[in-house]
Structure 1
Amino acid sequence: MTEQDADAEMAAILRETFGDSQSDSDAEESESSRNRRPLHDSTHSIFGDTHIWEPIPEISGLWISRDFLSADQQSALLSALEKDGYLAEDSHNQAMKFGDLPDWAMELSYYIREDVAITSDNSKAACVFPSDLLWREPLFNQFIVNIYKPGEGICAHVDLMRFEDGIAIVSLESSCLMHFSPVEDENAEKNSAKIPVLLNPGSIVLMWGEARYRWKHEINRKPGFQKWDGEEIEQKRRVSVTLRKLCCV
């Protein structure tokens, strides 16, 4: 297959999955349908230009896009979370949703898929997220919103087996380090073999395969554990949105 044929096939897949991004008459289109319809040309999405996806070399199946959401897009997402009551002062610091997801979560899912699928190096797409995960329907049907006050984190864990492979984590408001350690390493808490990954605001992490099942991840925001390039990361409130797919029963 030539490169042109491959591009044409990818374009056909995107059109079949998302619909055509062109419209004969924007005037005939309702405002709501325009807002909900993805843009599907090969260089732009509703979240802006396509993004760079970086592998974490030490951990198979762990990828990060450090600039997935711009400052304005982060603000828009936080506003949607606030509107839906997930950031209310009197709410708990964790909230979950199963099944029919709100519009903002559906859009986020759509554009994760789109951005991976149209990454500038199409041959890399299957490495960022395997095709059987990327094209499943739905991509995600559950999310969890966590609010971490300065100094708060989460202990080392592997996400529950009730969720399928393939997890996305979006970070908002405050940078932090997420540390990864092998599941079989019972002394991981005491050794220095943990792999640190910097999660900056607007970044998104994809975990699948070994990263999903064979590595624990944690965030320890106590003083001394949040250093990057020799400097302590300033502690602010951090909000994370984790997208997952519930296993079929």
Structure 2
Amino acid sequence: MADEAHKLHAEGGAANRLMALRGGRLFEIKVPDGAWTRDWPEPAPAHFTALTFTEQTNEYTFVSALTEDGTLYAIGVPGGGWAKDWPTKPPKQLYRIAGKSGVDPYLFGLDVENTLWATQLPVGGWVPDFPQRPPSPLVDIAAQGGSDPHLFGIGQDGNLYAIGLDGGGWVRDYPKPPPVPLQRLAVQDGPTGMLLAIDVNNSLWALGLPDGVWVQNWPKAPPSAIFDITVQSGGGNYLFVTGETETIYAIQLPFGKWQKDFPAPLP
């Protein structure tokens, strides 16, 4: 389970939703008191294995998803239909995707050879090693929007890397070296916010950006080992994780308590 792609994605702000993949189908629920909608916003045209969400400020909202063979699909919400290879077909088969929201939204991807790719939404083309080639091939990525956007990545060499998307260069162990090797990342929009991670032992770590320190099991230890992670930005402020047997747990940052099957059990 630890090698699977990200199957949860949370959005705060006006959307205030959680999206989840189960059995290749996309489900959506409003936080904190909605009910799950199956096959949201339209039935999936294929069996999805990974997803992300990108919002262009006050204009467009996109959900992007990958199939088992790396085919990319996207849909505009509300009111759109699923489009294959949108905005353009990736040059290589992707297995990880991450969206950066904001005035200049980007979709980032990792191909099967761990090359980093990026396309600007809604009309860009795919560019390899954008904005710069990482010092090590990456195995997971998380994109931060907001006024100080960054792309964070875990390298094949086990190090954490970050690059400022407004003209920066790759920095190892930014802002602080993780105490243990990491395998999954999630990040809130900047300039402040939290960088969340799952380590190789399936434990939770958190760091306050831009100058905090890594804290294990912040704000509280999850009820079980965790395998996937996503966090809201722009309101709501819920952290969601997937535990054993794909159970979803949630905690409201920074002072909440863990709740099982929140906001409701996934069908």
More helix by share: 1
The TM tier, using the shorter chain, reads under 0.3
Q: Which has the bigger relative contact order, CA under 8 A and spacing at least 6?
A: 1
Higher share in strand? 2
Greater Rg, structure 1 or structure 2?
1
